[in-house]
Amino acid sequence: MLITNENQYTAVWNKVYEKLKFHPDSSYRGHSLNVKLPFKINKPYIIYNIEDITDAQVDLSSKVIPEIFAKITPESKKIYALDWQHSTFLYDPHNIEEQKDVFMENGGYYAYFPSYIPDGDYSFFISEDFSFGYLGHPWRNEIWIFGEELIKETEKIYKTLGWKKL
């Protein structure tokens, strides 16, 4: 479900800024490692470099990452799908129909469901209770993973996706 209410949208992002100490840096300085670290995560996490992935691996990520989210998320829980300064969704990872772009007839525009590989902006997939998260950094070409189950499942497939552990 696309979050269109401005108060709800702001509340979700305020939670991201507070809980993850997210401080976006949109100034690219010619090399991804020149961009300062955007998060302070107070639980175990892993960072993967995605700089050298192929188009086929991007496609594979779009298939297996949602499968992992569905596997580790209880039926009654939801996930935020966030595209920084753009669309914000709260969706059921078990329902493929909720993981699509939405046409907004009231404004005549598409709200795009975020990509699992950051494609120009920060993109985040965070459980509603913030127990796990998948955070994409576009300029550093990184995926940050936190949450024990998500880390465990990602460790099984990251090499197949062309990711490199940092």
Q: Please check whether residue 129 lies inside any domain of the structure.
A: yes
| pLDDT tens digits in sequence order for the chain, 166 residues long | 888 889 999 999 999 999 998 988 665 544 455 556 778 898 999 999 999 999 999 999 999 999 999 999 999 999 999 998 888 999 999 999 999 888 776 766 778 899 999 988 899 999 999 999 999 988 888 999 999 999 999 999 999 999 999 9
pLDDT of residue 26: 62
Q: Please check whether residue 1 lies inside any domain of the structure.
A: no
Dihedral sign, Cα of residue 69, residue 74, residue 76, residue 77: negative
Q: Please check whether residue 30 lies inside any domain of the structure.
A: no
Q: Please check whether residue 122 lies inside any domain of the structure.
A: yes
SS3 for 139? coil
pLDDT of residue 90: 96
* CB neighbour burial string for 134-163, b if at least 16 within 10 angstroms, e if fewer: bbbbbbbbbbbbbbeebeebbeeebeebbb
Q: Please check whether residue 94 lies inside any domain of the structure.
A: yes
Q: Please check whether residue 21 lies inside any domain of the structure.
A: yes
Q: Please check whether residue 42 lies inside any domain of the structure.
A: yes
Number of structural domains in the chain: 1
Range of the domain at 159: 6-25+35-165
pLDDT of residue 128: 95
Q: Please check whether residue 89 lies inside any domain of the structure.
A: yes
Dihedral sign, Cα of residue 41, residue 91, residue 140, residue 164: positive
pLDDT of residue 36: 62
Tell me the pTM.
Answer: 0.90
pLDDT of residue 34: 53
Decide: 122 and 114 in contact? Cβ < 8 Å: no
SS3 for 66? helix
